[in-house]
Amino acid sequence: MRPKSSCVEERLVAGRYQLDRILGEGASGRVYLARDTKERGSVWAVKELDYSSLPPDEVAECRELFAREAELLKGLRHPSLPLVVEYFCLGLRDYLVMERVEGPTLEGILASRDEPLPEDKVWKIGLGLLKTLDYLHHRTPPIIYRDLKPANVMVTLNGQVKLIDFGIARVVAPTKSGDTTAYGTPGFAPPEQYQGKTSPASDVYALGVTLLRAATLYDPPQFQFTHPSAEELNPGLSQAMVEALNSMVRKSADERPSTGRLIQFFSAACEISPSGKEMTILARRSWRKIKRLFRNLK
């Protein structure tokens, strides 16, 4: 067991990065706040994966996943994705040096609340993530994120969203008909992911469940792919939000709307959603506009 304290003995890695304190940690690694000793004033987040307790065959698989994540991120430039500057290996540890993102995860925010997020914040978070997914899906070749959930969404101090942890993202190869492995988080991953098949619609489903949790505090059961209506979970939601969320979590991938169509819908909703209760009133008044867009979600 690793200590929970954020304090660590300072150490220099790669002759450059001074690890100061722990920003977060998981089963196999930590993320440190690091000072760059070669660029005065530069501060980074350094992700360290420690494989010393793993058998050799698992080390090889983990290192392959790490290298894939690092190469993916190095080639991406988007305001909602962390900027990666370099990665390297030292013994049985891998390191990823990236932009420091300040703020809690969406899961951390929701876990600390007794009531769902205000609806205007759900629209804003949803729109930010939709634009990020749309960017990934339109890369050449497309990138499917495959593990969207509140714990992988950071909300910065200025309210911007950041999508983190690309360890199981998949680059879609035209010559392959399915995934080689079925990853994802039970409760958030769609049914087709457990059949070794993912597509952009798989990310739409996971985002839908993520926003359903944000808008209702719903805790999705594992391996259950039919969810209660958003209206049942939170009767105070606007009809626009209910329709959007219900469309995103449809069991059949072919029936889910694309990120492009959802961006239009969420953008229109954000334009008429100043805050909380006002959102519901204004959305009803402007339902004709929203409903025209919703026809494209079906």
Catalytic residues: 147
Report d(CA 141, CA 117) in Å as an integer. Answer: 35
Q: What tokens does 150 get?
A: 């509140």
Report d(CA 187, CA 220) in Å as an integer. Answer: 5
